[in-house]
């Protein structure tokens, strides 16, 4: 018996719909929904343990997986089973986690899992845009202590019009693409990339997406109401001691304010704050610490946070002594590493990134193999954040989700400035060597300089900046180039990358409700001033891309050849191309244009001579002599009936120069006229209709000898006595009369 199913439908306004259904699948989960648009179906389940974990944080896991069966495909690799999540899946997990996590109570520490999986794929639907909707809808059906429903939506601008949850085809035509996460009254998360847009245009896109999100939230609430809203579960809430909190505040606040106002370095103020904390602890007796010592640390941290925030709001000063719009000192350097194709160092305050660039062929493209998308990236960036960059020692467990997310943001900020006709596959790697505030934006700046150092012809240089916001409702301060500490104590942190012309990428996490769009636009404009200041430091170091790649870096030349010549260039079993690569010291890659079906030949090599040799071979392969034209040839082989000559301008292209075309006089021996290695001109006559072979002539370019008499052409019947043997006389009447009849070999 099929259980009762509850369903709500969201109209996207352009003929498309999203449905949310519950009651049929995964009923033992604390909440489960199936979200569907077209043939795309996501199953989301949520479970949270009833027992609090013995930790002081929320152990929330958001897991998003795309099943290959959803697209009717097998997983790649030797083991035909989905394994570790792809970067695309990790990025979707981060997008959902960033919106959900702040809405759980700070004292809720139960192990919680949100699992979203793609069960059916539709080429016209991008599933990750519905992951946040699915997660929130499932939570609304549970008994979790969760502040309010949220949703996420992708917004793009196609031909000047905003579109919600566009298709991948529409996305390719857009100049703006962002994922927005919001509740009904507040925007909470923004992440995306743009084609050098203005701050006002970005705000308009956020507003448009927020209106669509409100509709999705209303559908969730209707579904929960129809299904039967559960009572919120009870859990062991955090102990509150207001007297203790006030006592610690009075002991610590003024001291923390004074330390924050000194404008010291990270190490100095960390030590000073730690000393105040120890003084606070020392003010309590052993009995008091035994009774409520577990609350002291949290109350002290709250007092420290309040002091630092008040310093900024009341005096406009920050932890390191800067004003709110002041950028830390910057120094840059390019061409630091001698063996890389491009390198740079970008240092801003106590944050430092070392970037390298490697140039390759299409064979080096980053392959993306997901059920929802297959493709290649010819520009990609990898970001590494080792423990030593923050002065820590911790286990190394492979690439973290944070590294994937920060690298993706930097990549999105830069990729729009890589020209479409860049012949290379470009890989940028950022090694974060020091970190105290926005190493991802330092990566953008270092990446820009390394790309220009490598000779990549960027449209315009890109810079990035991390911003913060502190507000108490009546007052607010926008902070440029935030520190790591300011990232935690602020009400909004956002990162913006862009050129002198506009924004190329952004990432925002907004922690306060009802942030006005006026404040948002003002914050973005202050970010623009900071970006341009940093951009000036970059261009002072390297003003334009290098004219050419470095001497040890590979040069890239691309040629197109007709489809019918691809096989000849490769040769049987790849023999021709392999020998060519070995002889010239180059790497040759041949792809086929899916539209024109032409061959695209990529030639990569450090020595120009080797590249030129490959180009000469291609020119030779494509060489087609024109009828009536004169060409210089070289004798490469001697035969009894002529000489094999090679076109000088197209080595490898050979043609037979018949003995009768050597000279006007009768030539008995070929060597009487030409010898091996001789170079001379011949005239090309095209294909001889009689021999069906190409015909060239040396004598046609020579003057006729005096008294030369042209030999009369032979007549068709000058072979007398052969009439009865001609092809037209094959009747049996010509059989010899005296021929005896055939006798049977075997008698009965």
More confident residue, 32 or 370: 32
Domains defined for the chain, CATH in brackets? 6-227 (3.30.230.70), 242-315 (1.10.10), 330-484+493-504+516-541 (3.30.230.70), 555-622 (3.30.1370.10), 629-701 (2.40.50.140)
The pLDDT of residue 723 is 47
Q: What is the DSSP letter of 317?
A: B
Pairing status of strand 342-348 against strand 330-334: antiparallel
For residue 228, is pLDDT > 50? yes
Q: How far is the C-alpha of 558 from the C-alpha of 563, rounded, in Å?
A: 15
Is the predicted pLDDT of residue 460 greater than 60, yes or no? yes
* 730 band by pLDDT with thresholds 50, 70 and 90: very low
Q: For residue 151, what pLDDT band results from cuts at 50, 70 and 90? A: very high
Range 508-534 average pLDDT = 90
Please state, in angstroms and rounded to a whole number, the distance separating the CA atoms of residues 293 and 309. 25
Per-residue pLDDT of 589-644, as tens digits, reads 999 888 888 999 999 998 889 999 898 888 888 888 889 899 999 999 999 889 99
Is 728 labelled as part of a ligand binding site?
Answer: no
The mean of the pLDDT values for the chain is 90
The region of weakest confidence among 425-429, 452-456, 741-745 is 741-745
Q: At 40, is the pLDDT very low, low, confident or very high (cuts 50, 70, 90)?
A: very high
Residue 746: the pLDDT is: 44
The per-residue pLDDT for 487 is: 83
Q: What confidence tier does 144 reach under pLDDT thresholds 50, 70, 90?
A: very high
User: Do 437 and 481 contact (CB within 8 A), yes or no?
Assistant: yes
Pair 60, 80: CB distance under 8 Å: no
| Least confident range of 197-201, 360-364, 408-412, 728-732 | 728-732
**Mean pLDDT along residues 185-212:** 94
Q: Are 554 and 607 in contact (CB under 8 A)?
A: no
Residue 398 is predicted with a pLDDT of 86
> Tens digits of per-residue pLDDT, 634-677?
999 999 889 999 888 887 788 999 988 898 888 888 888 999 99
Q: What is the pLDDT at residue 719?
A: 47
- pLDDT higher than 90, residue 170: yes
Confidence of residue 237 (pLDDT cuts 50, 70, 90): confident
Res 745 pLDDT > 90:
no
d(CA 85, CA 75): 12
Check residue 535 and give its pLDDT. Answer: 97
The contacts of residue 663 (CB under 8 Å, 6+ apart) are 673, 698, 699, 702
pTM of the entire predicted model: 0.84
DSSP letter for 86, please.
P
pLDDT at 727 over 70: no
**What is the token pair recorded at 37?**
């648009």
Local structure of 51: helix, strand or coil: strand
When pLDDT is averaged across residues 184-195 and rounded to a whole number, the result is 94
φ/ψ (deg, to 5) at 161: -115, 135
Buried b (16+ CB within 10 A) or exposed e, 421-443: ebbbbbbbbbbbbbbbbbbbbbb
For 694, how many CA atoms within 13 A lie in the half-sphere containing its CB? 17
CB atoms within 10 A of CB 342: 28
Interatomic CA distance for residues 643 and 657, integer angstroms: 5
- pLDDT of 748 over the 60 cut: no
Span 105-118, average pLDDT: 96
Per-residue pLDDT tens over the stretch 686-722: 888 888 888 999 988 988 887 776 665 555 554 444 4
Average pLDDT over residues 117-137: 96
Encode pLDDT of 290-338 as tens digits. Answer: 888 888 999 999 999 999 999 999 999 999 899 999 999 999 999 999 9
pLDDT score of 722: 47
Provide mean pLDDT across the span 337-366: 95
Q: What is the pLDDT of residue 711?
A: 64
Q: What is the pLDDT of residue 513?
A: 84
Quick one: which of 317, 356, 319 has its CA closest to 336? Answer: 356
487 has binding-site annotation: yes
Q: Residue with structure tokens 């743009």?
A: 194
Residue 124 structure tokens: 């016209």
Q: What is the DSSP string of 660-714?
A: GGT-SS--S-GGGT--TT-EEEEEEEEE-TTT-SEEEESGGGSPPPTT--PPPPP
Q: How many CA atoms lie within 13 A of 494 on its CB side?
A: 32
- Tokens linked to 307: 């002091």
What is the distance between the alpha carbons of residues 44 and 27, in angstroms, rounded to a whole number?
Answer: 11
360-405 confidence digits (pLDDT tens): 998 899 998 888 888 899 999 999 999 999 889 999 888 999 999 9
Mean pLDDT, residues 467-485 taken together: 90
| Residue 288, pLDDT above cutoff 60 | yes
| pLDDT value of residue 715 | 55
Between CA 50 and CA 5 the distance in angstroms is: 27
DSSP E strands: which ranges in 435-578? Answer: 463-471, 476-480, 492-498, 503-510, 555-561
């Amino acid at each position: 018996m099929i259980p009762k199913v509850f369903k709500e439908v969201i109209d996207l306004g352009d003929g498309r719909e999203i449905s949310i259904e519950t009651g049929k699948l995964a009923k033992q989960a604390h909440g489960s929904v199936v979200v569907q648009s077209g043939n795309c179906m996501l199953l989301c389940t949520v479970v949270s343990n009833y027992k609090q974990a013995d930790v002081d944080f929320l152990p929330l896991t958001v897991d998003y997986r795309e099943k290959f069966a959803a697209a009717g495909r097998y997983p790649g690799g030797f083991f035909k089973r989905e394994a570790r999540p792809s970067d695309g899946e990790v990025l979707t997990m981060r997008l959902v986690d960033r919106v959900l996590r702040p809405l759980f109570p700070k004292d809720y520490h139960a192990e919680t899992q949100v699992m979203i999986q793609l069960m059916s794929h539709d080429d016209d639907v991008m599933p990750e845009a519905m992951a946040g909707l699915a997660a929130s809808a499932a939570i609304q059906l549970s008994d979790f202590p969760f502040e309010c429903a949220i949703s996420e939506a992708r917004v793009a601008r196609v031909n000047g019009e905003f579109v919600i949850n566009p298709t991948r085809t529409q996305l390719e035509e857009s100049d703006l693409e962002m994922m927005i996460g919001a509740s009904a009254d507040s925007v909470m998360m923004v992440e995306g990339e743009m084609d050098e847009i203005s701050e006002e245009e970005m705000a308009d896109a956020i507003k448009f997406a927020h209106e669509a999100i409100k509709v999705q939230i209303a559908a969730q609430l209707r579904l929960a109401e129809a299904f039967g809203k559960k009572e919120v579960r009870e859990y062991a809430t955090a102990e509150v001691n207001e007297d203790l909190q006030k006592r610690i505040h009075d002991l610590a606040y003024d001291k923390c304010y004074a330390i924050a106002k000194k404008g010291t370095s990270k190490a100095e103020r960390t030590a000073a704050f730690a000393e105040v904390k120890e003084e606070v602890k020392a003010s309590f007796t052993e009995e008091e610490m035994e009774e409520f010592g577990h609350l002291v640390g949290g109350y002290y941290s709250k007092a420290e946070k309040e002091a630092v925030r008040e310093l900024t709001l009341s005096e406009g000063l920050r932890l390191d002594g800067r004003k709110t719009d002041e950028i830390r000192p910057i120094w840059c350097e390019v061409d630091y590493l001698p063996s890389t194709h491009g390198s740079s160092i970008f240092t801003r305050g106590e944050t430092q990134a070392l970037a390298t660039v490697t140039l390759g062929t299409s064979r080096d493209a980053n392959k993306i193999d997901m059920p929802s998308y297959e493709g290649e990236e010819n520009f990609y960036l990898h970001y590494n954040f080792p423990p030593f960059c923050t002065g820590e020692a911790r286990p190394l467990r492979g690439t973290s989700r944070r590294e994937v997310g920060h690298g993706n943001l930097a990549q999105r900020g830069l990729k729009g400035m890589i020209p479409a006709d860049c012949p290379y596959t470009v890989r940028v790697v950022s090694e974060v060597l020091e970190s105290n505030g926005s190493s991802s934006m330092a990566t953008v700046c270092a990446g820009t300089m390394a790309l220009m150092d490598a000779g990549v012809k960027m449209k315009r240089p890109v810079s990035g900046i991390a911003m913060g916001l502190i507000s108490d409702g009546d007052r607010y301060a926008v902070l440029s180039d935030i520190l790591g500490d300011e990232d935690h104590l602020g009400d909004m942190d956002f990162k913006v990358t862009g050129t002198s012309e506009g924004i190329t990428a952004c990432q925002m996490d907004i922690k306060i409700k009802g942030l006005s769009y006026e404040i948002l636009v003002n914050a973005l404009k202050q970010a623009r001033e900071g970006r341009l200041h940093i951009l000036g430091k970059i261009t002072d170091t390297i003003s334009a891309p290098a004219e050419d790649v470095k001497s040890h870096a590979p040069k890239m030349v691309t040629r197109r050849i007709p489809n019918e010549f691809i096989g000849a260039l490769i040769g049987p079993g790849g023999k021709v191309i392999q020998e060519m690569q070995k002889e010239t010291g180059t790497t040759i890659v041949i792809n086929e244009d899916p539209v024109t079906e032409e061959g695209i030949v990529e030639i990569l090599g450090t020595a120009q001579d080797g590249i030129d040799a490959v180009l000469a071979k291609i020119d030779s392969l494509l060489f087609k002599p024109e009828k009536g034209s004169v060409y210089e040839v070289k004798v490469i082989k001697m035969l009894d009936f002529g000489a094999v000559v090679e076109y000088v301008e197209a080595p490898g292209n050979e043609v037979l120069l018949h003995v009768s075309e050597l000279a006007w006089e009768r030539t008995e021996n070929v060597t009487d006229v030409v010898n091996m290695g001789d170079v001379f001109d011949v005239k090309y006559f095209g294909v001889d209709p009689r021999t069906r072979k190409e015909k060239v002539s040396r004598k046609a370019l020579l003057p006729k000898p005096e008294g030369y008499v042209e030999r009369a052409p032979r007549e068709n019947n000058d072979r007398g006595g052969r009439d009865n043997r001609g092809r037209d006389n094959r009747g049996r009447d010509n059989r010899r009369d005296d021929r005896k009849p055939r006798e049977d070999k075997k008698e009965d």
